A = this chain, B = another copy of it.
Amino acid sequence: MSDFVEKLRAIVGDKGLITDEQGKHPYVTDWRESFVGNALAVVRPANTREVADVVRLCAAEKVSVVPQGGNTGLVGGGIPQEKGREIVLSLNRMTRITDIDPIGYTMTVEAGVILKTIQETAAAHDRLFPLSLAAEGSCSIGGNLSTNAGGVQVLHYGNARQLVLGLEVVTPQGEIWNGLRALKKDNTGYDLRDLYLGAEGTLGIITRAVLKLWPKPKDVATAWVAVPSPEAAVALLSGAHAASEDNVTSCELMGRQGIDLVLQHIPGATDPLSGRHDWYVLFEWSSTRARREGANAGGLREKMEAYLGEAMEQGLVLDATIAQNETQARALWALRENHTEASKKEGPSVKHDISVAVSKIPAFVTEGLAAMRKALPECRPVTFGHVGDGNLHFNCQAPAGWDKARFLPHAHAVNAAVYDLVVSYGGSISAEHGIGLLKVDELAHYRSKVEIDTMRTIKRALDPQNLMNPGKIVRV
């Protein structure tokens, strides 16, 4: 084994190699500490060539490779298994932005670039990279692409998959596929790009990408809206497309329970409205057209105010506040984005990242809350998510005072209650977080044999030694 480690060192140097337990710890543990694995070493290549050399060495020595980005995933996709000969291959030294083309609306980046850096670089060139999610300050683009990340602007711009033109991938054999094409149309055979995107590193390692950019919005309106029900939230969104002239970029639904956790655990968080309500919507509209200033001032804020006023008369809105500046808007967003952090501080929880057709959200929430309470009467449901995508984080916080040991034995029953309902609604058991280690059994259970067999066939064909992130997505 020390021989293997020295061969790794010969490729990546001392700077690229971590072998002590303390140094490896943050790479073999996920941030919620739900998964703790083992790694022979953590390897941090400096460029694509080194990634390929490491993978070729591992293929020859039959050592598995677990690619890892910012390690912010929620399903253990980037964590090695407890048993096995695995290394963690972290992309966190590959942080170069190698090209920015504002005219062609593209940016070419290495896999380890932090999402926020990409957003800021685009903004500095008067462009937008629309992927946005709570972990954006620490997640990296390679992980975002490998998991086909979603986030809060999918409604308008699509998932990560829709934000990419080209990829560079190191195959399980350690070859480099240069698919870094900046083309809008290219019908030349199988869609390898979309196969690697969302494959969670099980078919190869994404090392670089050509990202799409958009014009930067010049006018943004953000509101915090109390609504009587999820049904009202769906109706509010439905009417907003026309009222905003197709400029709705986010529509986040939150139940009161999650807000309470945020107010309790996150320093500085305050309730934007005076009353207490069961359901809230965080609404954002944005347009590339600048708002008019001066005597004739006007823009999305005024349109949003008029629309929310009408909606209040129709009983769809109970109370609302519109951010008057960016600071206020950020405070509203923080209430939404701190849900996961607050839940972690409160204690153990079971997470369900599910999706159904948007129009079915209200019925699903009613039935789902009943099903969850039936499975564990003392549970505390925490519901929030991207209502415009039909995607809810339909979570179950452990009963107050319960620790992990007491709560976890009930997790399976809660999962089964929710997932059975999701499947009966024609929905998905993983809308945006992926499968990782967490949902391998559920995927095999809820999807058809032909679908699982097809995935296994692809995995076996492209990675016959099963060395790329083994145990994730499907077992082979």
Binding site for B on A (CB under 8 A): 103-104, 147-148, 150, 154, 159, 161-162, 171, 175-179, 181-192, 194-195, 197-199, 203, 215, 241-242, 245-246, 288-289, 355-359, 386, 389-391, 426-435, 439, 443, 447-448, 450-451, 454-455, 457-462, 473-474
Using CB atoms, name the residue of chain B closest to A454.
Answer: B192
The answer, among B187, B191, B391, for a CB contact under 8 Å with A194, is B191
Q: What are 11 A-B residue pairs whose CB atoms fall within 8 Å in the complex? A: A148-B187, A154-B184, A171-B454, A183-B428, A185-B428, A185-B432, A186-B355, A186-B428, A190-B199, A192-B454, A215-B246
On chain B, the residues within 8 Å of A199 by CB distance are: 190-191
On chain B, the residues within 8 Å of A246 by CB distance are: 215, 288
On chain B, the residues within 8 Å of A386 by CB distance are: 185
- Report yes or no: A431 in contact with B194, Cβ–Cβ below 8 A: no
On chain B, the residues within 8 Å of A197 by CB distance are: 191
- Report yes or no: B241 in contact with A192, Cβ–Cβ below 8 A: no
Max chain B CB contacts within 10 Å: which of A159, A186, A455? Answer: A186
What number of copies of this chain does the assembly contain?
2
Max chain B CB contacts within 10 Å: which of A182, A457, A460? Answer: A182
Using CB atoms, name the residue of chain B closest to A391.
Answer: B185
- Report yes or no: B457 in contact with A462, Cβ–Cβ below 8 A: yes
On chain B, the residues within 8 Å of A458 by CB distance are: 190, 195, 458, 461-462
On chain B, the residues within 8 Å of A162 by CB distance are: 162
On chain B, the residues within 8 Å of A103 by CB distance are: 359
- Report yes or no: A185 in contact with B150, Cβ–Cβ below 8 A: yes
The answer, among B177, B184, B191, B357, for a CB contact under 8 Å with A195, is B191
On chain B, the residues within 8 Å of A428 by CB distance are: 181, 183, 185-188
- Report yes or no: A183 in contact with B356, Cβ–Cβ below 8 A: yes
The answer, among B187, B448, B457, for a CB contact under 8 Å with A177, is B448
Q: Which 5 A-B pairs have the closest CB atoms?
A: A461-B461, A194-B194, A186-B428, A185-B431, A184-B389
- Report yes or no: B473 in contact with A434, Cβ–Cβ below 8 A: no
- Report yes or no: A245 in contact with B289, Cβ–Cβ below 8 A: yes
Max chain B CB contacts within 10 Å: which of A150, A246, A432, A474? Answer: A246
The answer, among B179, B191, B356, B435, for a CB contact under 8 Å with A189, is B435
Do A390 and B185 form a contact, CB below 8 Å, given A177-B450, A288-B246, A457-B461? yes
Using CB atoms, name the residue of chain B closest to A175.
Answer: B450
Do A104 and B358 form a contact, CB below 8 Å, given A450-B171, A462-B457, A462-B458? yes
- Report yes or no: A190 in contact with B389, Cβ–Cβ below 8 A: no
Do A190 and B183 form a contact, CB below 8 Å, given A104-B358, A245-B289? no
Q: How many angstroms between the C-alpha atoms of A321 and B237 in the bound complex?
A: 39
For the complex with contacts A154-B184, A182-B426, 7 further pairs of A-B residues with Cβ separation under 8 Å are A104-B357, A162-B162, A190-B458, A191-B197, A195-B195, A457-B462, A458-B461
